[in-house]
Structure 1
Amino acid sequence: MKNRLKVLRAERDLTQAQLSAALAVSRQTVNAIETGKFDPSLPLAFRISRLFELPIEEIFQDGDPL
Structure 2
Amino acid sequence: MMKGTAILLNDDQTVTCLEGVERSVYKEMKDQAGCADYHCTIGNREICFQDVQFVFWCDSDVDWDYGY
What TM-score does the superposition give when structure 1 sets the normalisation length?
A: 0.32
Select the structure that is richer in strand. 2
Select the structure that is richer in helix. 1
